[in-house]
Structure 1
Amino acid sequence: MARSPSSSVQAAREALAARLREIRLDAGLTAREIALRAGWHPSKSSRIENAVTPPSDADIRAWCNICGADEQAADLIAASRSAESMYVEWKRLQRTGLRRLQESYVPLFKRTRTFRIYCSNVVPGLLQTPAYATALLSEITAFREAPNDVAEAVAARMDRSRVLREGDHRFAILVEEAVLRYRMGNAEVMAGQLGHLLSIMSLPAVSLGVVPFSAERGMWPLETFSIYDAEQAQVELLTAAVTVTAPSEVAQYAKAFSRAADLAVYGTHARALIADAIAALG
């Protein structure tokens, strides 16, 4: 089974800790001497070296200065910030509301040529109707007690969805059949959303597959994730967004996507499942 999606974060923290330890050893100092000279608690240096306590920018500058390695501080600070940005709590991302979060994805979407998106719980954001997005984002806002800017966030999400029809992009999108059945909003909202999926399937840049309930599973249902080219994957957890950049882990998500794609149905068969879901709304 794949490792936790947060393992990229821990690996990056451990790599930074190892570099700091090497700098200390090259300077001929002990961890306790670093702490004493920096005015820290005696155990702080050890916690930093063991990737237990993430160092602040000031900690890294002090460490490098004490070890006579000031020239390395900038690179180490950049590495530290990169590691900390891999795992970001939704509460932090959404503290000013949801609109800015929607807009923050625009540069990534514009530069990505190939999108691979897998959703096991809700319709992917790029394929949502305004009514479905309103229902979903309203629930997210209430659950996370975020500022209520749902109308603005929905508008930003719809604007972001223009990437489906503009530019040189390709979209391979997979949803579990359960996504067609989970009601987000009332029956009218769901009927409109499912009908929209049928129309989206005609776009030349979009391949939409549905993994049916009847599939003999070769890949178990996973958390929602997106792969942007072969550069990074983003995994959506209940509490946080995890950005995976380690090539070996991005490759695992690509492998999982491929396995799920093999289980999916497309074209006429996918349309039939969507039509069945519409009919079940009554």
Structure 2
Amino acid sequence: MSAYPSSNVETARKAVAARLRELRLDAGLKGHELASRCGWHKSKTSRLESAATPPSDSDIRTWCEVCGVADQAADIIAASRTADSMYVAWQRLQRTGLRRLQESRVPLYERTRHFRGYASHVVPGLLQTPAYASALLSAVGRFHGAPDDTAEAVAARMNRSRVLHRGDRRFVLVVEESVLRYQIGDVRTMGGQLGHLLSVMSLASVSLGVIPLSARERGIWTLEAFNVFDEQRVHVELLSAQITVTAPSEVALYMRAFAELREMAVYGAEARGLITSAADSLT
């Protein structure tokens, strides 16, 4: 697998620094000229452009204003803020076990009012049964060499799923039909999971779409799994790490991809038919 562009903090910081330098050059300013207009020592400009010193939000706003591109400040600030957290290896997240990882995400899910999720390989965590989650998390923990606390992690995941039953929230999820066919656990576990999907579809807060294997003229190819939280934050799941995206332009890109994926999905009776067919194939 090729390295993800944001695979380390240093690369992310250098990307921010390079972007600032490009803005200065596009504005036709020399380093000392920009420093003078910003009201700081010329060495600060050099330190920021070399990524020797991370810029503050105020530094970025001032830089963009002086270069005549104040509208680009929001994106650069978002990229700078997430340089230390945009790429976090699963090994780091799971070093104390899976329970704490599940629990750490609860506040984010609880404050999210509009959740969008796309799943290309396994059933979304919010819709998993205890048995399915146990089989999946056990395999994940074993693969990454995490401490075995599967039972506690499953309990934490089920606790997180309670947000589905709280008012004033909307959950829009799209899964590939292959998710329904890829067996996790034994036949009984998978059958119970598919039955649970049929049940959860009746919740007023949930919209579940399935992209059929027979879908023609796909507007977009199969992507890695990702979740969007209130159009403010995106979590992308890779084999090696979780990517956190907060730059407005990048969040908008995932929003556009989700909209296209959602258009390809079927809902209601058609979706239930695909789930039922997958369940029947188990026996």
With the length of structure 2 as denominator, give the TM-score of the two structures.
0.78
Partner Cα distance (2:243, 2:139) in 1: 21
Question: Aligned residue for 2:281?
Answer: 280
- Give the secondary structure class of the aligned counterpart of 2:85: helix
Amino acid at match of 1:27: H
Deviation at 1:107, TM superposition (A): 1.0
Establish whether residue 93 from structure 1 lines up as the match of residue 107 from structure 2.
no
The answer to whether the 8 A contact 1:114-1:170 is kept is yes
- Give 1:185's aligned residue: 185
Partners of 2:102 and 2:153 within 8 A in 1 = yes
Paired residue secondary structure (1:85)? coil
Alpha-carbon separation, structure 1, partners of 2:252 and 2:44? 39
Verify the 8 A CA contact 1:210 1:270 in the aligned structure 2.
yes
| Rounded Cα–Cα distance in structure 2 between residues aligned with 1:264 and 1:126 | 19
Displacement, 1:86? Answer: 1.0
* TM-superposition CA deviations, 1:22-75 (whole Å, max 9, x none): 7996534499xx9xxxxxxxxxx7xx8545xxx6xxx769xxxxxxxxxxxxxx
2:267 is aligned with 1:253:
no
Partner AA of 2:233 in structure 1: Q
The alpha carbon displacement at 1:12 in A equals: 5.4
Amino acid at match of 2:15: E
How far apart, CA to CA, are the structure 2 residues paired with 1:115 and 1:7?
26
Equivalent position SS for 1:234 = strand
The aligned residue for residue 117 of structure 1 is 117
Q: How does 1:1-282 map to 2 (within 5 A)?
A: 6=6, 13-16=14-17, 26-29=40-43, 49-50=49-50, 82-216=82-216, 217-282=218-283
Give the 3 Å change call, closer, same or farther, for CA 281–17 of structure 1 in structure 2: same
Q: For each residue in 1:58-95, what CA deviation from the matched residue of structure 2 results, as whole angstroms up to 9, or x when unmatched?
A: x769xxxxxxxxxxxxxxxx986631111111110000
Aligned pair in 2 of structure 1 residues 13, 156: CA closer, same or farther (>3 Å)?
farther
SS at match of 2:236: strand
| Letter matched to residue 196 of structure 1 | H
Structure 2 partner of 1:42:
none
Cα shift readout 1:108-137 (whole Å, capped 9, x = no counterpart):
111111000000000000000000000000
- Shift in CA distance, 17/174, structure 1 to aligned 2, threshold 3 Å: same
**Residue in 2 aligned with 1:64?**
none
1:105 partner letter: R
Q: Distance in 1 between matches of 2:149 and 2:112?
A: 27
Q: Distance in 2 between matches of 1:15 and 1:80?
A: 6
Alpha-carbon distance in structure 2 between the residues aligned to 1:192 and 1:60? 50
The aligned amino acid for 2:191 is A
Instruction: Indicate the RMSD between aligned Cα atoms, in angstroms.
Output: 2.9
Whether the aligned pair in 2 keeps the contact of 1:16 and 1:79 (CA below 8 Å) is no
Corresponding residue SS for 2:158: helix
**How many aligned residue pairs are there?**
243
**In structure 2, what residue type is equivalent to 1:254?**
M
Report the CA distance shift for 1:8/1:254 in structure 2 as closer, same or farther (over 3 A): farther
Report the Cα distance in structure 1 between the residues aligned to 2:106 and 2:179, rounded to whole angstroms: 25
SS of equivalent residue, structure 2 residue 82 = helix
Give the gaps of 5 or more residues in structure 1: 35-44, 62-77
2:58 matched residue in structure 1: none
- What is the one-letter code of the residue matched to 1:144? H
Structure 1 residue identity aligned to 2:282: L
> Is the Cα contact below 8 Å between 1:14 and 1:50 reproduced in 2?
no
